[in-house]
Amino acid sequence: MIIRSVIEGVGSYLPENIVTNAELSKRVDTSDEWITERTGIKQRHIAPKGQNTSDLAIAASKVALEAAGMDGRDIDMVIVATTTPDNTFPATAAKVQAALLKPGIPAFDVQAVCSGFVYSLAVANNFIKVGQVGTALVIGAETLSRFLDWTDRTSCVLFGDGAGAVVLKAGKGEGTSADRGILSTHLHSDGRYFDILQADGGVSSTQTSGLLRMKGKEVFRHAVVNLAETAREAIEANGVEFKDVDWLVPHQANLRILDSTSEKLGLSKDKVIVTVDKHANTSAASIPLALHQGISDGRIKKGQLLLMETMGGGFTWGSALVRL
Ligand code: COA
């Protein structure tokens, strides 16, 4: 018998305000045609002033807790994956804890940009596996619209705001790929690529949060290779094959990246959960948002094998193989 971290509930939240490509093309020199063809994105949700990352995180968490049949008192630890915290400190997780959870539990943020959710899932999984906590709330939440350069058409069209959350609970498994729960996580980084996808400021360097800067073509090139590699290691580590995977639930950056990766892996497009068209890239929120979308529309079912994979600034990248 081994301990597995089982996903007991999933939730998400998207701000009400939707901005279409056509609306965006009134603000910057772009078009629906260009954005759709190069990225697959049709629209994104943008949080109004006053609605912060913690508000999105709390809203998503309420849905996840309800889905798990739990309330805040049942949670032993909370992690928020975010690049767009409400404040430089304390952690956004502190606000979630104060709003929903017991005082005294560990609450912290993880900063791994678009890989933040998979990184956080790995951290929570390890806390559960060593028996330090019995439950964990893991959230990806972002208000990326706040640190975009809205005059830079090469980046501002790509991102959106939102949040997704999962409730993990310790369960028992046999140590095989038939177990429910997180079967493996693999995390990577390579800081030599720091400048390719970054905020051009920070507390220490400029005393500002900076704005998002990206060399899109280089990110694209690395993403396709790194995502395929980390997907393969997840499969190999568990003695399964790609044909056993029910759903690829990838980080949603660009439809062309999703298509190239699934093609490289020999996975049919029908097995890929795609939300980038409606949400754009919501960084750490994109995987739990996609997971919740797939569950809500009835495609993803309990007992199915899910492969999550992601890549983001740092570079950071990683994967998680999960049986729901
Ligand atoms: N609207 C219209 N034209 C645009 C544009 C926009 N929003 N953004 C760029 N262009 C123009 C460029 O200026 C360029 O024009 P030029 O040929 O006259 O110089 C042309 O379109 C092609 O630009 P290019 O950068 O070569 O396009 P691309 O095919 O590489 O697509 C991205 C650009 C950003 C969509 C693509 O590189 C990408 O998705 N990269 C990965 C980004 C990503 O996922 N980042 C997050 C990872 S977590």
Domains and CATH numbers, the chain: 2-173 (3.40.47.10), 181-323 (3.40.47.10)
Question: What is the residue with the minimal CA distance to atom 8 of ligand 1?
Answer: 154
Catalytic residue selected from 21, 45, 114, 254: 114
CA dist 121 and 245 (Å) reads 19
- Put simply, whether the predicted model's pTM sits higher than 0.95 gets the answer yes
What is the full per-residue pLDDT of the chain (324 aa) written as tens digits?
999 999 999 999 999 999 999 999 999 999 999 999 999 999 999 999 999 999 999 999 999 999 999 999 999 999 999 999 999 999 999 999 999 999 999 999 999 999 999 999 999 999 999 999 999 999 999 999 999 999 999 999 999 999 999 999 999 999 999 999 999 999 999 999 999 999 999 999 999 999 999 999 999 999 999 999 999 999 999 999 999 999 999 999 999 999 999 999 999 999 999 999 999 999 999 999 999 999 999 999 999 999 999 999 999 999 999 999
Q: Which helix (H) or strand (E) holds 53?
A: helix 53-68
Residues near 2 by beta carbon (within 8 Å), at least 6 away in sequence: 129, 172, 173, 174, 175, 179
* Residue 258 confidence (pLDDT): 96
**SS3 state at 56:** helix
* Residue 25 confidence (pLDDT): 97
Burial of 121: CB neighbours in 10 Å, binned 0-12, 13-18, 19+: buried
In our burial notation (b when 16+ CB lie closer than 10 A, e otherwise), range 152-164 reads ebebbbbbbbbbb
* Residue 20 confidence (pLDDT): 98
Q: Known catalytic residue: 281?
A: yes
Pocket mutation for ligand 1, best pick of 217, 225, 252, 315 (most atoms within 8 Å of C-beta):
217
Q: Known catalytic residue: 114?
A: yes
* Residue 14 confidence (pLDDT): 98
Pocket mutation for ligand 1, best pick of 28, 220, 221, 258 (most atoms within 8 Å of C-beta):
220
Question: Tokens 């056993």 map to which residue?
Answer: 244
**Packed helices 216-237 and 255-265: angle between N→C axes, nearest 10 degrees:** 40
Contact at 8 Å (CB) between 121 and 142? no
Q: Known catalytic residue: 156?
A: no
